[in-house]
């Protein structure tokens, strides 16, 4: 009975070692320079992904009329005219998904001009 118990315990420990993730060192926060093109009634890209602690610089470029970008949960609100890009820099210090939206009324479909900032965990994989 004792060898069976030892074999079972060894198998259980081996499975736990394979299934449990190893502690990973957090990667160093990086800088992101993201150009967001705004046009009636969309952002390109509409989704931006960064890591926790990353420094993010958004350059808003308007293709047609005056547009703005307001990022929910962050103190970011920039406005760009056609031919006059605007820039804002912030640190992504909260995990989660945050909407960004046009902050300047730009036409009938303006309320639907929404994008998404995704701040993920700062791990190497």
pLDDT digits (tens, 9 = 90+) for 14-67: 666 666 555 555 678 899 999 999 998 999 999 999 999 999 999 999 999 999
Question: Is the per-residue pLDDT at 121 higher than 70?
Answer: yes
Q: What is the pLDDT of residue 17?
A: 61
Question: Is the per-residue pLDDT at 8 higher than 70?
Answer: no
Whole-model pTM?
Answer: 0.75
Give percent of the chain with pLDDT exceeding 90.
Answer: 65
Per-residue CA distances from 89 to 4, 11, 14, 80 (Å):
61, 51, 47, 15
Q: Yes or no: say if 56 and 93 are a contact pair by the CB < 8 Å rule.
A: no
Dump the DSSP string for the chain. Answer: -HHHHHHHHHHHHHHHHHHSPPP-PPPPP-EEEEEEEEETTEEESSEEEEETT-EEEEEEEESSS-EEEEETTTTEEEEEBBTB-EEEEEE--S-EEEEEE--S--STTGGG-EEEEEEE-----
Instruction: Output 40 or 91, whichever has higher pLDDT.
Output: 91
Q: What is the pLDDT of residue 18?
A: 63
Helices (runs of H) and strands (runs of E) counted in the chain? 1, 9
* Paired residues of 89 in beta bridges: 57
Confidence of residue 4 (pLDDT cuts 50, 70, 90): confident
Kindly report the average pLDDT of the chain as a whole number: 87
Alpha carbon 18 to chain centroid distance?
30
Question: Is the per-residue pLDDT at 91 higher than 60?
Answer: yes
Sign of dihedral through CA atoms 76, 79, 83, 86? Answer: negative
């Amino acid at each position: 009975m004792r060898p069976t118990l030892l074999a079972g315990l060894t198998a259980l420990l081996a499975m736990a070692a394979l299934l449990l993730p190893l502690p990973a060192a957090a990667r160093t926060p990086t800088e992101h320079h993201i150009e967001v093109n705004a046009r009636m009634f969309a952002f390109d890209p509409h989704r931006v992904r960064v890591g926790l602690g990353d420094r993010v610089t958004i350059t808003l470029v308007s293709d047609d009329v005056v547009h703005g970008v307001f990022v929910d949960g962050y103190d970011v609100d920039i406005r760009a005219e056609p031919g006059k890009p605007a820039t804002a820099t912030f640190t992504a210090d909260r995990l989660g998904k945050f909407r960004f939206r046009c902050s300047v009324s730009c036409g009938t479909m303006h309320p639907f001009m929404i994008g998404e900032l995704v701040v993920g965990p700062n791990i190497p994989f």
